[in-house]
Amino acid sequence: MSIPEQLNSSSRHSRQAALDPEDDARERLIVALDVPSASAAIGLIDQLESRCRWFKVGLELFVQAGPSILNVLAARGHSVFLDLKFHDIPNTVAGAVRSAADCGVRMMTVHALGGPAMLSAARDALARVANPPELLAVTVLTSMDGAQLSAVGLSDRASEQVERLAKVGLEAGIRGFVCSPQEVGLLRALAGTDAVLVIPGIRPVGTGVGDQKRVATPADALGQGASFLVVGRPITQAPDPAEAADRILQEMAAGLRSMTI
């Protein structure tokens, strides 16, 4: 199955009727491996890989472990989301996107704030790749609230900034976005049923928010139209990560089940 088909088959709006909510939840959970070493990541993968198939490698792990951690995940049959949020001049980002695609990742991120030329260069770079990964434009970080935005000169509300950046991405031909759960409904309406919406800032009831500001529960984010949920610390820093993942998957499945009623 090609990647867009694979992603779309697990998106809320084109969900295969045959997929039961438990299996659907497992397809939609992306565990963020925000840990300081390959061995710590492999320890988590050992505990979680029977529960989900997507793992996200971000800055902390990639800077320490390098591309070999991507190979470890791919060799174990997992789908890899490389979340390095590229934001540089168009030529540099195009090269980085090609290098990431060569590593066999299935999703990757660029910052929408890089602007139309940078986004187009990233999209064009992937257009020449066979079986390309899904390119996701990050809109506004989930750790940003009004005060953080205004400190960097952005006086609009987060939702207005997300909408503006999503339109820039759509104009550049990008069909995948990262936003907070609070804007996912807006983005689903704007980008349509085929868009791949990947949502961090997920906090089950009773878990600490940490540095995140714009958060929601797993069921709420799915109900608003999320394709995938990214969950890090509520799983990776739990006393028992496997048990925490199971609880989140149950919450996701319950949310999915209520959407089909």
Q: Which is nearer to ligand C5P, 58 or 114 (CB)?
A: 58
The DSSP symbol for 87 reads: -
Known catalytic residue: 85? Answer: yes
Given the DSSP bridges, would you call strands 134-138 and 29-32 parallel, antiparallel or unpaired?
unpaired
CB of 212 to ligand C5P, least distance (A): 5
81 pairs with which residues across the strands?
56, 107
Residue nearest ligand C5P, CB atom distance: 232
CB of 209 to ligand C5P, least distance (A): 8
Residues sharing a CB contact under 8 Å with residue 221, sequence separation 6 or more, in sequence order: 181, 184, 199, 202, 229
Nearest Cα residue to 119 out of 82, 191, 172, 187: 172
Alpha-carbon distance of 128 to 95, in angstroms, equals: 12
Q: Which is nearer to ligand C5P, 101 or 165 (CB)?
A: 165
Using CA atoms, how far residue 31 sits from 94, 118, 197, in Å, is 26, 28, 15
Q: Which is nearer to ligand C5P, 93 or 231 (CB)?
A: 231
Q: Which is nearer to ligand C5P, 19 or 238 (CB)?
A: 238
Residues within the interface to ligand C5P (CB under 6 A): 32, 34, 58, 83, 138, 141-142, 178, 200-201, 210, 212, 230-234
CB of 162 to ligand C5P, least distance (A): 10
CB of 261 to ligand C5P, least distance (A): 28
Alpha-carbon distance of 226 to 193, in angstroms, equals: 10
Catalytic residue among 56, 85, 167, 213: 85
- Please list the active-site residues: 85
